[in-house]
């Protein structure tokens, strides 16, 4: 590969790293063509961008990017595919579901999620439980609405009680 081609590829990868908030590093070695195609299709349907990379070029792209990612170097050994996304837990769930049909492939090697680095296949379970921004906002809104709903229902039920008491008192006289 020519030096100009390498620098263009590094620049393109660096732009992808800056564009997406999270990325996962996997090993797809051992998947046949049909399984790899299925994985790509699944990634496309979940709005995840899958890119096969050369480890050294990706490390150089990381250095040129705006993100400060430290400690993920050990994930870049052997064959690497990088999954880019803007929702932190989607690729983890995708990998875990895909592994159910293929055994242990693709292998999870590492990830950069929510400005933290996760390395090792044992971290996949942790990543599937991370909540996305939308899920957290939904929970917070639900929690904030809960007391307001209780107050409104108490006022509404209290209004009917007061009305009943007033009606009873007016009927006595």
For the domain made up of 3-130, the CATH class stated in words is alpha beta
Q: What is the pLDDT of residue 109?
A: 95
Q: What digits encode the pLDDT tens for the residues 101-127?
A: 888 889 999 999 988 999 999 999 999
According to the model, what pLDDT value does residue 159 have? 63
Tens-digit pLDDT profile for residues 136-147: 888 889 888 888
Instruction: Break the chain into its structural domains and give their ranges.
Output: 3-130, 132-173
Cα–Cα distance measured from residue 135 to residue 142, given in angstroms and rounded to the nearest whole number: 11
Q: Give DSSP secondary structure letters for 85-115.
A: ESSTTHHHHHHHHHHHHHSS-SEEEEEEETT
Lowest mean pLDDT among 33-42, 111-120, 160-169: 160-169
């Amino acid at each position: 590969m020519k030096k100009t081609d390498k620098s263009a590829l590094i620049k393109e990868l660096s732009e992808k790293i800056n564009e997406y908030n999270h990325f996962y590093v996997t090993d797809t070695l051992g998947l046949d063509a049909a399984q790899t195609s299925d994985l790509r299709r699944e990634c496309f349907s979940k709005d995840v961008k899958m890119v096969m990379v050369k480890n050294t070029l990706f490390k150089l792209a990381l250095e040129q990017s705006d993100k400060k990612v430290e400690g993920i170097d050990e994930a870049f050994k052997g064959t690497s595919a990088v999954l880019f996304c803007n929702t932190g837990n989607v690729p983890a769930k995708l990998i875990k579901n895909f592994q159910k049909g293929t055994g242990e492939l693709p292998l999870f090697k590492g990830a950069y999620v929510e400005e933290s680095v996760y390395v090792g296949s044992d971290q996949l379970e942790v990543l599937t439980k991370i909540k996305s921004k939308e899920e957290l906002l939904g929970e917070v809104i639900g929690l904030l609405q809960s007391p307001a709903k209780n107050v409104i229902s108490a006022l509404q039920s209290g209004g009917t009680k007061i009305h009943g008491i007033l009606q009873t008192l007016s009927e006595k006289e």
